[in-house]
């Protein structure tokens, strides 16, 4: 469990590798430990709540189950939130910033819409209960896929370079320092045991480490395990199947052999390059995914973390 024992986890990876389901499973893992956990979706996404049989996400935290909550960030709500905290008066924000002149200007500021996502995560991390303890023990962010995910992670640094001084610079530096603090923040990469996702994961890892971020773990998703005969015995078994007119069975077994080799190669390549635990998750045939499916993945993820 130590591998992902960070206050903030940011989940990203190639599109289609299971980022959202992994985020949900991670949420259940930490919530089961009695940690008050918040799942954060970016760009107005609202998939996590229904996936866990809970309410659709909003900008305010919604309870999903015991110790687990969800929240969906939109850049416009986060920008409004930030500016009102600076000027203190909502009516002034409406008058100055929500008009036909300033609206397009705010939309055109480079990196602002990406930076405010992590700015909101920073605010959530700093939020306290009335007794002074943190509101959230764990914050898990379902970040966009690889390219956009990198933009969001690099946005605070870009805002610092753009502004140089002032309140935006100060806040961007606070966000950057938190997300770059490897003791508090870790990146969880999702990957499939296939050549292209593995290649993209290696590129992502390189970009993240160059930018000073810590990869806490790689979830290798949709792993298939099948009780196959020893490969040295397979030729004779294959001939027996073909003699019995069981060509389809023979082809299916050969596909499993090929898949297992692919999985072995992917695991070996990732382990050799990335200095973080490789956490396998099984391929589930459930369609559509529901709370039970996520619970099964959480069980496997917990087991993988314990043995990492």
Instruction: Encode pLDDT of 165-176 as tens digits.
Output: 888 888 889 999
pTM exceeds 0.85, yes or no: yes
User: For the chain, how big is the Rg over CA atoms in Å?
Assistant: 22
**Mean pLDDT score across all residues of the chain:** 87
Q: Average the pLDDT over 186-197 and give the result.
A: 95
Residue 259 covered by a domain: no
Q: What is the pLDDT of residue 281?
A: 96
CB atoms within 10 A of CB 86: 10
Q: pLDDT category, 88, cuts 50, 70, 90? A: low
Residue 184 covered by a domain: yes
CATH number for the domain harbouring residue 43: 3.40.50.300
Residue 138 covered by a domain: yes
Q: What is the pLDDT of residue 199?
A: 95
Residue 250 covered by a domain: no
Residue 160 covered by a domain: yes
Residue 111 covered by a domain: yes
Q: What is the pLDDT of residue 288?
A: 76
Residue 212 covered by a domain: yes
Instruction: Report whether pLDDT(241) > 80.
Output: yes
Residue 68 covered by a domain: yes
Domain count, the chain: 1
Q: Is the peptide bond before 258 cis (omega within 30 degrees of 0)?
A: no
Instruction: Encode pLDDT of 114-173 as tens digits.
Output: 888 998 999 999 987 656 778 999 999 999 998 888 889 998 888 888 888 888 888 889
Q: Which domain holds residue 195?
A: 2-225+276-307
Dihedral sign of CA atoms 189, 192, 197, 203 in order:
positive
């Amino acid at each position: 469990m130590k591998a992902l024992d960070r206050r903030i986890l940011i989940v990203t990876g190639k599109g289609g590798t299971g980022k959202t389901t992994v985020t949900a499973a991670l949420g259940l893992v930490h919530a089961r430990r009695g940690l008050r956990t918040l799942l954060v979706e970016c760009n107005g996404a609202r998939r996590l709540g229904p996936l866990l049989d809970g309410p659709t996400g909003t900008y305010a935290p919604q309870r999903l189950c015991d110790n687990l909550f969800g929240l969906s960030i939109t850049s416009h709500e986060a920008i409004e939130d930030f500016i009102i905290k600076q000027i203190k008066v909502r009516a002034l924000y409406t008058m100055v910033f929500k008009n036909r002149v300033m609206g397009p200007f705010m939309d055109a500021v480079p990196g602002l819409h990406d930076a405010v996502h992590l700015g909101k995560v920073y605010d959530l991390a700093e939020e306290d209960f009335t007794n002074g303890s943190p509101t959230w023990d764990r914050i898990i962010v379902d970040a966009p896929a690889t390219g956009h995910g990198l933009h969001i992670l690099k946005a605070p640094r870009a805002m610092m370079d753009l502004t140089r001084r002032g309140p935006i610079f100060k806040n961007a530096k606070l966000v950057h320092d938190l997300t770059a603090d490897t003791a508090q923040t870790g990146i969880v990469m999702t990957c499939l045991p296939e050549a292209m996702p593995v290649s993209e994961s290696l590129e992502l890892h390189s970009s993240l480490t160059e930018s000073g971020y810590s990869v806490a773990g790689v979830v290798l998703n949709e792993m298939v395990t099948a009780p196959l005969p020893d490969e040295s015995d397979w030729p004779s078994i294959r001939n027996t199947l073909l003699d019995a007119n069981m060509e389809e069975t023979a082809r299916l077994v050969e596909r499993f052999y090929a898949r297992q080799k692919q999985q072995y190669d992917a695991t070996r390549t990732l382990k050799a390059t990335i200095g973080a635990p490789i956490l396998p998750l099984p391929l589930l045939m459930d369609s559509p995914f529901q709370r039970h499916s996520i619970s099964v993945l959480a069980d496997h993820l917990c087991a993988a973390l314990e043995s990492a």
